[in-house]
Amino acid sequence: MTHDAIAVIDFGGQYAHLIATKVRRQHVLAEIRQPEDPTELFRRYKGIILSGSPSLSSHGEDSAYNKAIYDLDIPILGFCFGHQEIAKHYGGTVVHGASEWGPADLQVVGDSPLFKGLSSVERVFMSHFDSVTSVGPGFEEIGFTTLGEAGASHRFAAIASDALRRYGCQFHPEVDDTVHGDEMIANFVLGICGCSPSWTMDKYVEERVAQVRAQVGDQSVFLLASGGVDSTVAARLLGMAIGPERLHLLHVDNGLMRKDESRDVLEAFRAFGLDRNLHFVDASDAFLTALAGAVEPEQKRKIIGNTFIEVFEREARSRGIERHLLGQGTIYPDTIETGGTKRADTIKTHHNRVPIIEEMLRQGRVVEPLADLYKVEVRELGEKLGIPHDLIWRHPFPGPGLGVRLLCSTGEALRSGFEAIEPAVAEVAQRYGLSALALPIKSVGVKADLRSYEHPVLISGDAPWERLVEAAGHLFKGVAGINRCIWNLGPRAPGRARPLPATVTRDRLALLREADHLVMEGLRRHGIYGDIWQCPTVLVPLEMDGAGREFVIIRPIHSERAMTATPAQLPPRLRDELRAQILALPGVSGLALDVTTKPPGTIEWE
């Protein structure tokens, strides 16, 4: 079956995948395309959406991409940079200035089909430096925003040519902050483009099962089953398509998994009836040997990735992978990020695109039944396939596992800039009746879309949750060199903190595994596991006032897609329970709750 589809041209903006996701919510297929793709490729689409861009400007020199798309007789809609490009291509003017950031009120002009069913004033989200100041023949202004108390207008915030079926929005309809953005996208996709909403999970299952059967024929499939959402759903779908007798599953315990993880994974596949060719390998010795002595976060990631490839190749070949097709739980963002485009090269290489697998792809020997889906769609598919809710909606878990939640150290205090940081954080904290201690370690963060590696601050004292988060915000704004704030849950405010030498060991992993288990069980016991998007537990080799060797940090967050995050409040009773349980673990010097937003702190500490 063929579906009506929309092409989303990715100019490098962080929201391109979000645009595609929002289109798919209308049950219309959306696919990411590159600005340099040939014109012929776009002829099969019912419409095109141009994304924003953080690095390109419509002001000044000409933007380089395939402008022949404008000659196609299909509707085109642009957001932010895409809006400016449409205006400029058809004779409008774009200038550098009149920037807007954050929420704004869009005054809708006329009765454009893009805003059908919406009110005359709509709350939208702006994020731009350049602005459209005039439009060419055949175009008209269909919306503007007002600036400041005097009500000065920012013109041409939305433009249209119904005759040409070209539309532009300076704002971002794809983000949740644009209140009726989904309706605007639906008006374009279903109304202006006339797409039929046939992209559903029921149809996807039907089509994918048929495609897998056609590709596999009478061969067998070998699948690495990590127990994560993607590989579990892929295994279930492959089992439906070819039967369990021709599906071989391999689960590898790398020694960096959560408590009882491998046992639970194997039990789940047995419950699905997929245990006929289910294999298990304990490779923890190989991983821990390779990690011995490693301290730097990026070094640990590379070691874990390389060791995984070595173990995978050895085990796959010993089980005759040459005789089977390779099944993978690759999802759509993985496919795009490793696509070899100008924008994808700098993102990352996934474990499902390493050399041995690339060679099998060239030979047509790889089966990827989820390669068209986003994570939310994979979860929806999993529920359609009858996979238990707890497995489908479990918290995200990083590929390197506990390896990136077990911080390591040479024992040397990282105190760059401390002379300025220490008095500054103390002064800000005092305004809120709190004390503050800058920590002589660093964690990863993100500021202005750039990675930062800066100091955390430990605040101590009693205060309402909202005031703690407010204090953290003022610390980030007022003190340079910090990107994370944690709230002390220990019985007293520590006077000093000292990093201790530590690497990846079985004993440290066992301690982190137990602390993580206590946190996960606590979230479930109090009925809030499903309300929290993710909750890493972190172990830091940090001695507090000479007591113990390990400092435990709990990082519960609320998020929609991990692009941004806010700290999640834990019930006081749960905090008390975790305080008693975790501080009783051997060698623990303290406990804290991370109250950092993203940005400036990433979700994970490494």
As a whole number of angstroms, the distance between CA 387 and CA 236 comes to 8
Told to judge if 174 belongs to the known catalytic residues of this protein, a careful annotator would answer yes
Residues with Cβ within 8 Å of 423's Cβ and at least 6 positions away in sequence, in order, are none
In the chain the first and final C-alpha atoms are separated, in Å, by 44
Q: Work out whether the CA dihedral 591, 594, 595, 596 comes out positive or negative.
A: positive
Catalytic-role residue among 80, 169, 193, 485: 80
Q: Write b or e for each residue in 256-289: b if 16 or more Cβ atoms lie within 10 A of its Cβ, otherwise e.
A: bbbbebbeebbebbeebebeebbbebebbebbbe
Angle between helices 201-216 and 229-242 (to 10 degrees): 60
- Nearest CA-CA partner of 47 in 28, 66, 22: 28
Told to judge if 172 belongs to the known catalytic residues of this protein, a careful annotator would answer yes
CB 66 within 8 A of CB 37: yes
For 94, phi and psi rounded to 5 degrees? -125, 130
- Nearest CA-CA partner of 70 in 51, 52, 50, 56: 50
In eight-state DSSP terms, residue 192 is I
As a whole number of angstroms, the distance between CA 537 and CA 515 comes to 7
As a whole number of angstroms, the distance between CA 454 and CA 35 comes to 36
553: number of CA atoms within 13 Å, CB side? 27
Token digits of residue 400? 């390197």
Q: At residue 223, what is the residue type?
A: L
- Nearest CA-CA partner of 595 in 394, 451, 434: 434
Q: At residue 291, what is the residue type?
A: L
From residue 181, give the alpha-carbon distance in Å to each of 93, 108, 524, 599.
25, 14, 34, 23
| SS3 sequence of 356-375 | HHHHHHHCCCEECCCCCCCH
- Specify whether the backbone of 414 is left (phi greater than 0), alpha (psi in -120 to 50) or beta: beta
As a whole number of angstroms, the distance between CA 485 and CA 369 comes to 42
Place of tokens 């005097």: 150
69: number of CA atoms within 13 Å, CB side? 31
- Nearest CA-CA partner of 212 in 320, 321, 316, 327: 327
As a whole number of angstroms, the distance between CA 602 and CA 593 comes to 15
Told to judge if 36 belongs to the known catalytic residues of this protein, a careful annotator would answer no
Catalytic-role residue among 100, 174, 261, 337: 174
Catalytic-role residue among 172, 180, 251, 350: 172
**Does the N-terminal peptide bond of residue 398 adopt cis geometry, omega within 30 degrees of 0?**
no
Token digits of residue 4? 């009506």
- Nearest CA-CA partner of 429 in 502, 504, 485, 373: 485
Reduced to 3 states (helix: H, G, I; strand: E, B; else coil), residue 107 is strand
Which are the catalytic amino acids? Answer: 80, 172, 174
